Chain A
Amino acid sequence: MKLKNTDELNALKIQNLVLLENRRVPNNSANTSESQDRPRHVMVCGGTGCHASNSPEIAKLLIQELQRRGLSDKVQVLQTGCFGFCEKGPILEIHPDNVLYVEVSTEDVADIVEEHFIQGKLVERLLYIDPNTEKRFASDLPFYHSQLRIALRNCSYIAPEDIREYIAADGYQALSKVLFNMSPTSVIEEIKKSGLRGRGGGGFPTGTKWELTRQNEAKQRYIICNADEGDPGAFMDRSILEGDPHSVLEAMLIAGSSIGASHGFIYIRAEYPLAIHRLEIAIKQARQYGLLGEKILGSEFCFDVEIKYGAGAFVCGEETALIHSIEGTRGEPSVKPPFPAQQGLWGKPTCVNNVETLANIPPIILKGADWYAGIGTEKSKGTKVFALAGKVNNVGLVEVPMGTTLRKIIFDIGGGIKRHKSFKAAQTGGPSGGCIPAKHLDTPIDYESLIAIGSMMGSGGLIVMDEGDCMVNIAKFFLEFTVDESCGRCTACRVGTKRLHEILTKITEGKGALDDLDKLEKLCKTIKVSSLCGLGQSAPNPILSTIEYFRDEYLAHIVDKTCPAGVCKSLLRYHITDKCKGCTLCAKHCPAGCITGSTKDRHIIDQERCLKCGACMEKCHFGAISHH
């Protein structure tokens, strides 16, 4: 059914509001007699994390069990996108009861149906327990307290594979407003006024980019959605595409009508099968409803989108490289200017925007630039989604207003460091970013403040590290990545990153010399200024920031030949303490046969022959083996 005008869109919205009626629960009204009679919705998380821990199977079993117990017409099971709280997945939420169950497994299905739906009580063991206070929560979890979900507004709230749900949740209303009540220039003005900046890393003002693209005379212009998401440890873009693909399509339509493009491309990694699947469904449904194609909603505007697949090259996230990749060639960056806004895809003016940037567009149009500009800091408006991961209790997707401190994200939302260890550093910006030490935990984070402390926003990867992480090794890890991913065009980047990696390897093997630090710093500066694209220009950041904040640790490796975190293998020395009971277990498992000692006597390790494999330490039941 093609929607021929705004009235039909609104009628469809009203007709489908019933789908969402259940899910708007202002306060905890669980199990009141009134809500008992309403049909229930079980929202099962279908994000990649929960998908990996069997959530589709849980959904299937739930449907079967409900059918068996004759509840099929009272309870509906739906699959959503990521709830953000991936650490505790698989997650499911029941509406209108306002109950969230965590770490659900297939074995829990029968109990959920019996206890929750038949007996009308909570399945206590599936509630979230705050590890610090041991308090149980059925709703309003501390994880969500400081968050503000704008880009993620529909993720976990609607079923992404049903366009009617998106439409009921104000979907395509912003498009309708843009097509019938605003001029292209007023849309661009509104986006400029909102202060929205690119979430793909650069932070370029989005409205200005649209304006620049529109200004260039051309018969054809293009809009590209950058869903390459190369930062290894970031997954917000894929989660938005999995949980709310229509919001990205709607934003592309809005961008297209504002800059004068009738064709859009979504460039996505082939490694994201679930996101691709949901996108394909969304595009198909949007075409069916006449929201993509000719004369959209009865206007003069025609627009369609096409998916283009990446093939595993980080540098293809860079906009000029991405454009070459779409053109079917090697994804190497080219010199700017000309910028894509001037000469992009097939030489035509092209606007490249990141997924998260786009997801912010429809709410800005509907609620106004002033609303959006009221959130965040002076120069960074709105919210930012972070992929919080590493040694933090609550790994997941977190959306907070710009200017929120790292401390709040890591300790309040993230629930602090795993296993009560101490915080050492947070890494933002992926391979282009830096490591932030504890003394900067209270910095309100936005684009500028992160650069000021030697890191950058990047796409929003936020990896937490504890005392057990070696900062030299982390720097080496990122350099390995850039060596792998450098496209090889510039000598400084191609050869320079290899040299950096070699020096770091030397240091972690205990073969470093003091002047290596100077060499590293000098080489870093050269690479920064003589590389063509952002990859080379920012590749030195992980080294520079760790040298600045963790110089002691470099010195320990170079001078004392020790790895304080106990990570760098060559520098480890395993030795047996007086806790040894002489059980002989370690000797039996040592692959080098270098542990000696008789039964009931303290054992000894021959350091010369030890392979530093750690097998002995793992086996000892008495904690008698330590390493330094």
Chain B
Amino acid sequence: MCDNPSTDHLFQQLDDYIDSLPYKKEDLIVILHQAQALFGYLPDKVQWHIAQKLDIPSAKVYGVVSFYSFFTMKPRGKHVANVCMGTACFVRGSEKLQAEVEKQLGIKTGQTTTDHLFSLDSVRCIGACGLAPVMTVDGKVYGRLNDPKEVEHILATYETENQISETVVH
């Protein structure tokens, strides 16, 4: 991400991506994936831009963004932690793990810390049920998390980078 308030180059990259697709309207979901990868989230301005570019109503774009839980309209923290709430993790104590992470970060699931360092979410089974209960941070999987100290240790490794920057779409 960048400190530069101008996001023109990101819009340019998005346009280039859309131009490279053989079908456009049908590929709305793929385009949204790409846009979220570029901007980190999907604010109104990005949704509106995509609607213009594809020549479809922006209500349709909004309808799709709000339907799928993978898409977010709020900026995320620099690191995204996900506690697995799949059945296998649930019966092996993921509720406790979730409460512990919430306590240590001082936020609830679905929220972002005020310093924008962490966002906390939940996922449903990442396929590492043998390691339940499981959490991921930025996609890296941590398993067998029954000890609060372990959680503390993991979060600490991400806290050390204190230079925060985020993309803001003006």
Contacts and interface: CB of A to CB of B under 8 A. Distances in A.
Contacts of B132: 389, 395
Nearest to B142: A52
A430 B127 contact: no
A332 B142 CA distance: 34
B80 to A, nearest CB: 12
A325 B29 contact: yes
A520 interface: no
B33 A311 contact: yes
A232 B124 contact: yes
Contact of A312 (B25, B69, B134, B139): B69
A386 to B, nearest CB: 12
A448 B98 CA distance: 37
A49 interface: yes
Contacts of A273: 139
B164 interface: no
Given A235-B125, A313-B67, A390 B91 contact: yes
Contact of B29 (A53, A311, A464): A311
A136 interface: no
A543 to B, nearest CB: 15
Interface string A75-95: 000000000001101000000
A331 B67 contact: yes
Contacts of A232: 85-87, 124-125
B128 interface: yes
A437 interface: no
A463 B26 contact: no
B69 A395 contact: no
B121 to A, nearest CB: 10
Counting contact residues on chain A (CB < 8 A from B), the size range is 35 or more
B117 interface: no
A465 B67 contact: no
Contact of A309 (B26, B29, B142): B29
Given A233-B129, A235-B127, A235-B129, 12 more contacts: A48-B127, A49-B130, A52-B131, A53-B131, A232-B86, A311-B70, A327-B26, A330-B67, A331-B68, A387-B88, A387-B129, A463-B87
A238 interface: yes
Interface string B51-92: 000000000100110011111000000000000011111111
A396 interface: yes
Interface in A422-478: 427, 430, 461, 463-465, 469, 474, 477-478
Interface of A: 47-49, 51-53, 86-87, 89, 230-235, 238-239, 270-273, 308-314, 325-332, 387, 389-391, 395-396, 427, 430, 461, 463-465, 469, 474, 477-478, 481, 487
B10 interface: no
B3 to A, nearest CB: 28
B30 interface: yes
Contact of B68 (A49, A53, A312): A312
A189 B139 CA distance: 45
Nearest to B67: A330
A332 B66 CA distance: 13
B42 to A, nearest CB: 11
Contacts of B32: 311
B29 A233 contact: no
A311 B130 contact: no
A230 B126 CA distance: 11
B27 interface: yes
B11 to A, nearest CB: 21
B27 A430 contact: no
Contacts of A309: 29-30, 33
Contacts of B123: 271
A390 B26 contact: no
Contact of A53 (B26, B91, B143): B143
Contact of A330 (B26, B64, B131, B141): B64
A230 B70 CA distance: 14
B131 A312 contact: no
Contacts of A389: 87-88, 129-130, 132
Interface in B13-34: 25-30, 32-33
A234 B124 contact: no
- Looking at B29, B89, B91, B127, the one whose CB has the most chain A CB atoms below 10 A away is B127
Contacts of B70: 270-271, 310-312
Given A389-B130, A389-B132, A329 B64 contact: yes
Given A270-B33, A390-B92, A311 B68 contact: yes
Nearest to B69: A312
A540 B148 CA distance: 35
Nearest to A234: B125
B68 A463 contact: no
Nearest to B60: A329
A477 B143 contact: no
A423 B129 CA distance: 19
A86 B129 CA distance: 8
8 contacts: A52-B141, A235-B125, A271-B70, A308-B29, A311-B70, A328-B26, A387-B129, A463-B87
Contacts of A477: 87, 90
B76 to A, nearest CB: 14
